[in-house]
Amino acid sequence: MFRLKVHKSRFGAVLAATRNSTTTTTHGNHYQYLQNSKLPTLYFQRSLPRLPIPLLEKSCERFLAAVQPILSAEEHRETQQVVEQFRQGVGMELHAKLKQRDEANKHTSYISEPWFDMYLTDRAPLPLNYNPLLVMRGDPRPEYQPQVTRATNLIISSLRFWRSLQANILEPEVYHMNPKKTDTASYRRWMAIAPKAFATYASYAFKAFPLDMSQYSRLLGTTRIPKLGKDELVQSPHSKHILVMRRGNMYAMNVLDSSGYILSPSVILGRLKSILEQDSQREPASVPLGVLTTSQRNDWAQTRAHFVSNPKNADLLQREVDAALFCLCLDSVEDGLFDETNPVPMLKHQLAGKATNRWFDKSLSLLISADGITAVNFEHSWGDGVAVLRYFNEIYKDMLQQPFVSASTPHTPADGDTSNVRPLNFEIDERTRAAVEAAYAQNASIVESLDMNYLQYKQLNKGTCKRHGLSPDSIIQLAFQLAYRQAFKRYVGTYESCSTSAFRHGRTETMRPCTMATKAFCEAVLQPTQRQPSSGELRAMIDKCSSVHGQLTKEAAMGQGFDRHLFALRHTAQLEGLPQPALFETEAYKRINYNIISTSTLGTDTVVAGSFGPVVKDGLGVGYSIQNDFAGAIVTSYKNQAQGKEFIDSLESAFDQICAIIERSSSAAKAERSN
């Protein structure tokens, strides 16, 4: 999870192909666009199916099944009675109203608006509570790793992605069940002649599943503006500049020309070097305004309203900060360097840190340490991991295949070019200064209280899972359940996100990995050795857990979970001014939505680490992945609230036990076959 370097030998061909890439004509399509898709980017959007509203009966059944392992038998019986009353009574009324509202808004999904409202009305600070962190794999070639070199290539690749999206020539997002057979020119030719209104269904015949791309338009050029009660998203898709932050000082830097073309690599490199040079001659910002974006949202709304009452501040903030395509945070040596033997300080800093060099309200921020370690921190209300991961993968691939500058590339000087590199000099009064100091102290206190632990477990990896016919995700989720049970003697609400982007304006559905199957396995494993089932029986229980997990995953991905449905029914009651139904007051509903274990994974080799904060004060935020040579987890918790270290230690033990069962059952099966 923390190996930021890759072997050079893999990229010999890439190196040979890219040595002369900086000679590319900057106004040619090869430089200006990342892709030139034969199918328009939004080709499938019109024909995507709508997110289904599950049957009320099914959602009630699924809810009862999900809460059973975390309730006593008596609690579960009481919950059954309340659920049945809901199903036959007010639930039917709310379900009918939800269906009616959905029918009147066929352009979107039933969950889209209430999900936006949920994000934008929450008053909690963005760092740790919402903004996640993705750390990018390092460049294997030293000449492309220096901070300013990496930043230049990241900017260019980001702009190439963005311009391809805007020109409708970025490849449509399609999930291919068998990429070797369907991610081909032949598939695209067939899709091009399919009637556009039915293109998605034609793609299904190839076992290729188009995904919703409505979120992509907010990937860049979007800012969350704090408002009292509910924030707003403001878009500036045609901006030509980015926001650059260095030691808390802020700069607007033009990266597109007046016609919207990407400027040449030497010009972008020169402007970045100009910022670094200017900043070296200045003190760090005495009032780092970015810290305000860590505030509780109503506090920040009030501070911002006062701040923009000054016309100069209002103009600079709206024109240069809010409207920037994205934020580039160039951290200094004082912010820390990466240490592979102890990655926690760097990860904590990039996740939330001291925040003097951040603007968390931007839809997307690129963070680059002084030694070139790169991460993405993104504001979550506008979209989910599918869009960010596509962008993340594409720019990493682009930088590897054709970097446009190296450490030895000459640059076009930009000294004194204040029209294209603009230091942002705000007018700071005592009220703003005091607000920044308060926000800094509050964020520093929260970050200081954050504990972070990690595990790399090499005996379990992609190869192990494939060799033994295991589902990687279900095995890791099973290990989480075993780890928590043996460490803390109970089962708790557990959250795993599943994308519903196969549907128009789909967002996510919740998977509930704590099941009666995982509970049965954990109880069996934790029996004294002489009372444990055989290895073969335990392996059968693992397979049962995987089967249940796979079914839940399928249901969630197909819009047949229960969490979003119940959420929407509760939201409908609020919209209609109805009393809160008794179901939502039950201990069962409260307990399963109090996510002690909140988990998330992004399965790609370009992400070497991912992290986010706990979603409840005594919870665990678990970012995990399974790579070619290990399974890894980063666990966040709040000190004196939850025991992250104990969980990580127990997780290692859980992996040991599961792997031992798998090996023993495999050996026994081989011995039986040989006889």
pLDDT of residue 4: 52
Please give the Cα distance from 520 to 319 (Å, whole number). 58
Please give the Cα distance from 422 to 663 (Å, whole number). 62
* Tokens read off for 81: 């009675």
DSSP H helices in 167-264: 179-182, 185-193, 199-204
Highest mean pLDDT of the ranges 385-389, 482-486, 598-602: 482-486
Is the pLDDT at 23 greater than 60? The verdict is no
Residues 38-76 have pLDDT tens digits of 999 999 999 999 999 999 999 999 999 999 999 999 999
DSSP string, 210-235: E---GGGGGSSSEEEEP-SSS-EEEE
Residues 502-516: what's their mean pLDDT? 97
DSSP at 625: E
Residues 119-131 have pLDDT tens digits of 999 999 999 999 9
**471 dihedral zone (left: phi>0; alpha: psi -120 to 50; beta):** beta
pLDDT of residue 11: 39
**353 dihedral zone (left: phi>0; alpha: psi -120 to 50; beta):** left
Torsion of CA 408, 279, 277, 261, to 10 degrees: 60
- Residue 471: count of CB within 10 angstroms of its CB: 18
- HSE-up of 52 (CA within 13 Å, CB side)? 13
* Tokens read off for 421: 């590199």
DSSP at 576: T
Q: Quick one: pLDDT band at residue 25, thresholds 50, 70, 90?
A: low
Please give the Cα distance from 359 to 310 (Å, whole number). 20
pLDDT of residue 281: 95
Is the pLDDT at 19 greater than 50? The verdict is no
DSSP at 54: P
Q: Quick one: pLDDT band at residue 603, thresholds 50, 70, 90?
A: confident
pLDDT of residue 2: 54
The answer to whether the beta carbons of residues 651 and 455 sit under 8 Å apart is yes
- 210 Cβ partners below 8 Å, 6+ apart? 43, 44, 47, 48, 172, 173, 174, 175, 199, 200, 203, 502
Angle CA(331)–CA(456)–CA(657) in degrees, nearest 5? 155
Is the pLDDT at 20 greater than 70? The verdict is no
pLDDT of residue 340: 81
Closest residue by Cα to residue 128 from 348, 302, 437: 348
Torsion of CA 9, 15, 17, 20, to 10 degrees: -170
- 531 Cβ partners below 8 Å, 6+ apart? none
- 212 Cβ partners below 8 Å, 6+ apart? 45, 48, 173, 501, 502, 503, 504, 505, 506
Burial of 640 (0-12, 13-18, 19+ CB in 10 A): exposed
Q: Is 565 a catalytic residue?
A: no
pLDDT of residue 182: 95
Is the pLDDT at 3 greater than 80? The verdict is no
Please give the Cα distance from 207 to 370 (Å, whole number). 45
pTM for this model (two decimals): 0.93
Give residue for tokens 């091009």: 192
Per residue, what are the HEC states of 474-542? HHHHHHHHHHHHHHHCCCCCEEEEEECCCCECCCEEEECCCCHHHHHHHHHHCCCHHHCCCHHHHHHHH
Angle CA(21)–CA(173)–CA(497) in degrees, nearest 5? 115
Residues of the chain with pLDDT > 90: what percent?
A: 90
The answer to whether the beta carbons of residues 297 and 231 sit under 8 Å apart is yes
Residues 619-662 have pLDDT tens digits of 999 999 998 889 999 999 999 999 999 999 999 999 999 999 99
pLDDT of residue 6: 43
pLDDT of residue 354: 86
Strands 631-638 and 450-457: antiparallel
Please give the Cα distance from 149 to 145 (Å, whole number). 7
Residues 26-44: what's their mean pLDDT? 92
Please give the Cα distance from 543 to 474 (Å, whole number). 9
Average pLDDT, the chain: 94
Residues 207-229 have pLDDT tens digits of 999 999 999 999 999 999 999 99
Between the alpha carbon of residue 268 and those of residues 150, 279, 405, 423, the distances in Å are: 12, 17, 10, 16
User: Of 349, 380, 411, 571, which one is the catalytic site residue?
Assistant: 380
Q: Quick one: pLDDT band at residue 191, thresholds 50, 70, 90?
A: very high
Residues 18-26: what's their mean pLDDT? 46
Strands 597-601 and 374-378: unpaired
* Tokens read off for 485: 């049970």
Please give the Cα distance from 153 to 147 (Å, whole number). 10
